[in-house]
Structure 1
Amino acid sequence: MEKQSKGNAVALLPLLVFILLFIVSGIVTHDFSSMPINVAVLIAAVVAIAINRKEKLSKKIEVFTKGVGHENIILMVIIYILAGAFSEVAEGMGAVDATVNLGLSLLPANLLMVGLFIIACFISLTMGTSMGTVVALAPIGIGIAEQTDISMALAMATIIGGAMFGDNLSMISDTTIAAARTQNTTMSDKFKTNFWIILPGAIITIIILWAITLGSHFTVQEDYSYQIVKVLPYLAVLIVAILGVNVLIVLTGGIVFAGIIGLLDGSFTGTSLVQTASEGIINMQDIAIIALLIGGIIGIIQHNGGIDYLLHVVSRRIKSKKGAEFGIAGLVSAADISTANNTISIIMTGPLAKNIAQEYQIDPRKSASILDIFAACWQGILPYGAQMLAASGLAAISPLSIIPYSFYPILLGLSGIIAILIGFPRFKQKASQQE
């Protein structure tokens, strides 16, 4: 095997600056969301270009722009834009309300938290957003807690858990997009691998919720009306994506499908449909720009030897394939704890995870799943994470009170650890490349 370069630790300074901006600003302001991610990544980009004074500025800018224009980064941005347009169009024609009401109409009165968890799983899986799921279901969870002896913290934790289930798996989730693209595997392959790893955690969560809420009763008094046709775009995108159809075709088809339904039922006019799709694209501009800038930063870090240094440090401590998988899990966990953003943590650590996976012959389906699983589990536990802050804010409780009931995020992480320890799943053939 070719001897690996020891690299250059100084090259990692932009990444260190990026993380420290979140930690220091959070400690100073007592609010870990006070530092905008786009500002932090812009500062880190300036630092990346500024270091290595021996090299000409024109050369450093060239390296940075090549990182920005990497094919994986550009494709990721296109997918983000299409996902944003689909999400907004589907919501505009009433798909979110219809999906929520469908779930609530099926909510069994004697299985309150189990039902709420399953509904949250389904909604987040179809919508592709944990925050959207939390905001949509939190009022329902608050109503249940107020009318029963179920604690408010348990209701909010149940919703967050279900939200993280779908965020980790959904075909239109930005985390799935980022994990699959950085590891150069298809989202359908990543979904299938990821699903079997986390399924035991979801089942155990259901059992725990059933056991601790036995005896609680609640009767849904409202009439949750819905039109099943409005749920179809979400289901179609989910099913077609799982079948392995190119994600660009899936999302484009989803936009057209949802748009046609909206036009036929009067939710849209031709003009409002186009405007709604535009709003969805605009909503994704921030994460798209961040992804581009991080691509440039990673390009300079790699050019200056930072990736080689990390690989050297990690490799010295890794003695096996399992050790390499734990190394990937540790990297993305540290990034998410520092930034409280699972998408950004995956984009940051994805290129390094890919190098580690190639070095130790880890299937890209597995490395993509590890990235998403460990980013999602921490995101569902952190008291300063966006999902926890949103739920606790709506319920007017402390985010710390929710943590003891965060069964699914904890079990999600444990499922990932067990999968690494037992070498699950075992692949018969190498994953196909992303279309």
Structure 2
Amino acid sequence: MRDKDSLDEGCEKPVVPEKMTVLEVFTEDDRKRQETTPAPNAKALLPIGVFLVLYLGFGIYYTYVSPVAEHMGFYVMSVVVAFGFALMVAFLQNRSLKFEDKIHICALGIGDDNITVMLLIFLMAGAFSGIAKAAGGVESTSHLLLNIIPGRFSVPGLFVIACLISMSMGTSVGTITVLVPIAAAVANTAGFDLALCVGTVVGGAMFGDNLSFISDTTIAATKTQGVEMKDKFRTNLKIALPAAAITLVILIVFALQGGEAVLGHYDYSYWLALPYFIVLVMALFGINVFLVLGAGMALFLASGMIVGSLSFANAFAAMGEGTTGMFETMIVTILVSAISALIEVYGGFESILAFIRRHFHGRRGGMFGIGFLTAMMDIATANNTVAIVVAAPIAKTISAEYDIEPRKTASLLDTCSCVFQGIIPYGAQLLIAANLAGIGSVSIMKCLYYPYLLLVFVVLSILPEGKRQNKPYGK
């Protein structure tokens, strides 16, 4: 009988990797397909065209042609429904692939590690937002800051408050909802232009939306590019901070020329304001976002129960409502991931890349290409998170081909989407602000100093990059 060592002689032992991701254990065909670049095929972009026709078409029709009293025009056609039809179209394309193969391609796209992490963060961010709102943290924080600001500098003060609140909350719409009524009161008592006061709040809200660690745009931009939030934050800050500083100077000049607002006294609780500041500091120190959100929820639960604004039962109910509010964003992320996976296999992304290669050259050109793509997606969808999720896979490929750092790509995705989301008159931010102030959304556009300056500084951040030699594609 031969011993074990003699049996092993002459036999090749299989080499097994120490670690394998879920995607790496799929079939050899999957790996071959991932390694093969499909031929450019513009027809593969038809699902995106269908989405744009449905969502943008219905939005324009119900906003300007036949307004619906109980709905904002761009929210009559649900973004989920529009993407649902787009996914159907994607499945009807490319008959050379079986239905089961298309399902498998979608599963690969949805099952990406970064998509999974993004979905989990969305859930936690929703729960955090829910419990913070129920406890009264938003009102206490804004009221605390309002009591500190001198009446003459109420307008620049509103900008600073909007920046801090949106940084803490991670939502521009929530910030606008809280602060625009106060901005309208400031305009009334001090004789300032109402559009200026409202535009100031919108600008500050977009500052925080762009930089907040718990903003859905930050989550989408960083996780799709596989970068740390703190790295994207540092890159963003070099662009956003100069724009914010110049905006503040402009507003101070206006304040010195205008009257003095009578702000009065606003009730607040230090206990309810403190958790937001702790969360903001934790995020700035680069602590893991799951820990930041978990600590924030615990702090709001404790502070709400201490003050008496929140019961144990109400806290968990509010967290449930908050996560429910994130469902649409999560479903859109899943649908877009599935559609993107099919479009990529069909050659749609290659056709977009071919266009960018023809018109944008060098590293600088690649950055402008990412910015242009993101801007067009936001103008089309009127939703900055959706714009990022749609543009992200193409941006990631451009980043690799044009030798662009992933953190810069994430910064461009987030910043460009926030710039255009903050200035389009049919976006949720301007529509809600206009509705609360009782003015037209177009009238606010002339006073959106921060978004316009942010766009200028985005361009200025790209120009020094020069035309560095491209890396070979796929290297």
The corresponding residue for 1:261 is: 303
The corresponding residue for 2:47 is: 14
Structure 2 spans left out of the alignment, 5+ residues? 1-34, 65-72, 467-475
- Equivalent residues in 2 for 1:71-82, closer than 5 Å: 71-82=113-124
Partner residue of 2:206 out of 164, 188, 204: 164
**How many correspondences in the alignment?**
423
Query: How many angstroms does 1:255 deviate by?
Result: 1.3
Query: How many angstroms does 1:90 deviate by?
Result: 1.3
Query: How many angstroms does 1:399 deviate by?
Result: 1.0
- Equivalent residues in 2 for 1:25-424, closer than 5 Å: 25-29=58-62, 30=64, 31-423=73-465
Residue identity opposite 2:283 in structure 1: A
Superposed CA deviations along residues 314-345 of structure 1, whole A, max 9, x for unmatched, are: 12222210000000000000000111111110
In 2, distance between residues paired with 1:339 and 1:221? 38
In 1, distance between residues paired with 2:311 and 2:199? 39
8 A contact 1:33–1:384 mirrored in 2: no
Superposed CA deviations along residues 247-286 of structure 1, whole A, max 9, x for unmatched, are: 1122122112211222233223222221111111111111
In 1, distance between residues paired with 2:165 and 2:263? 21
Higher mean alpha-carbon deviation, 340-349 vs 274-283, is at 274-283
Superposed CA deviations along residues 39-58 of structure 1, whole A, max 9, x for unmatched, are: 11111111111111221111
Which of 1 and 2 has higher RCO (CA within 8 Å, sep 6+)?
Answer: 1
Query: How many angstroms does 1:3 deviate by?
Result: 11
Query: How many angstroms does 1:5 deviate by?
Result: 5.3
In 2, distance between residues paired with 1:356 and 1:149? 49
How large is the RMSD of aligned CA atoms in angstroms? 1.7
1:268 counterpart SS class: coil
8 A contact 2:151–2:263 mirrored in 1: no
Query: How many angstroms does 1:220 deviate by?
Result: 3.1
Higher mean alpha-carbon deviation, 63-72 vs 185-194, is at 63-72
Query: How many angstroms does 1:156 deviate by?
Result: 0.8
The corresponding residue for 2:10 is: none
Structure possessing the higher radius of gyration over alpha carbons? 2
Residue identity opposite 1:17 in structure 2: V
Go from structure 1 to structure 2 and tell me whether the alpha carbon gap of 1:300 and 1:422 turns closer, same or farther (over 3 Å shift).
same
8 A contact 2:382–2:424 mirrored in 1: yes
1:214 counterpart SS class: helix
Superposed CA deviations along residues 181-218 of structure 1, whole A, max 9, x for unmatched, are: 11110111111110111111111111111223323222
In 2, distance between residues paired with 1:395 and 1:156? 7
In 2, distance between residues paired with 1:124 and 1:28? 32
The corresponding residue for 2:13 is: none
8 A contact 1:145–1:155 mirrored in 2: yes
8 A contact 1:167–1:376 mirrored in 2: yes
8 A contact 1:5–1:309 mirrored in 2: no
1:222 counterpart SS class: coil
8 A contact 1:129–1:163 mirrored in 2: yes
Query: How many angstroms does 1:225 deviate by?
Result: 2.4
1:111 counterpart SS class: helix
Superposed CA deviations along residues 65-112 of structure 1, whole A, max 9, x for unmatched, are: 221222211111100000010111112112111111011112222212
Residue identity opposite 2:133 in structure 1: E
In 2, distance between residues paired with 1:397 and 1:79? 36
Identity across aligned pairs (percent)? 41
Query: How many angstroms does 1:26 deviate by?
Result: 2.5
TM-score (norm 1): 0.94
Structure 1 spans left out of the alignment, 5+ residues? 425-435
